Chain A
Amino acid sequence: MAHPSEPPGLADVTLDVTLIDAMLALSPEDRLRQNDRMVRTIEELRHGFAAVRAHDAARKAGGERD
């Protein structure tokens, strides 16, 4: 059952494709490039978390309260 806020029909869509099927449909070079994209995403998340930690530490050092 779709939630009222969801676009009509979206909840009824199922994909009969596994990650392995999706990977096997690519060329070897495209599979490597897919890994590159994942690495970039991981790096962006790491930088984002590091920035949040630095911000929190600076706020605590400055005596700021939540």
Chain B
Amino acid sequence: MDSPPSGLTTLLARLAASGTDFVLVGALAAVAQGAPLTTLDVDVVHRRGADNVDRLLDFLASIDARYRGRPPGQVLRPTREALLGAGHQLLTTNLGPLDVLGAVEGGRGYDDLVHESIAIEVEGERVKVLRLRMLAELKRGASSAKGLLALAVLEETLRRTGEG
């Protein structure tokens, strides 16, 4: 990871404060709902409307977002066109790593996921978080050891919360 250590909580709150519409997904969404996992990045699915993409792009510029894994000295910034698409933008920022996803498993985008989200408060900002049940459903197609382990943790957390 080439980002400096930083609080992912603050990155998430700052993104929410920017007025960008997004749903938190991935391991951090599971952590927010009680799953004992650890993750090094923030994964979000953003609404791909032009107005929202412009807000997101402004926010990304303000935190010096650039693609991860580039050779030293080769800085590549996310573009409007990329954010309008369904692809995954794996970024590093001065607040920590941020994965901006146009869509997740099954081609599900923001409009498909927002109705499966709950709202939590983070540093005074309202953040939409994909429900644990849906996070587990997305993980059910996982084949990697990491994915299967995360699925087991999600399912046990669902059982403990009475949602399983």
Given contacts A20-B157, A42-B38, A42-B40, contact A28 B5 (CB under 8 A): no
Looking at chain A's contact residues, is the secondary structure mostly helix, strand, loop, or mixed? helix
Closest chain A residue to B124 by CB distance? A29
Judge whether A28 and B35 touch: CB under 8 Å: no
Judge whether B34 and A24 touch: CB under 8 Å: yes
CB-based A-B contact count at 8 angstroms: 66
Interface 1/0s, chain A 7-34, versus B by CB < 8 A? 0000000000011111110101101111
**15 A-B contact pairs sorted by A residue (CB < 8 Å):** A20-B36, A23-B34, A23-B157, A24-B160, A28-B122, A28-B129, A31-B31, A32-B28, A32-B32, A35-B8, A35-B39, A39-B5, A39-B39, A39-B40, A42-B40
Binding site for B on A (CB under 8 A): 18-24, 26, 28-29, 31-36, 38-40, 42-43
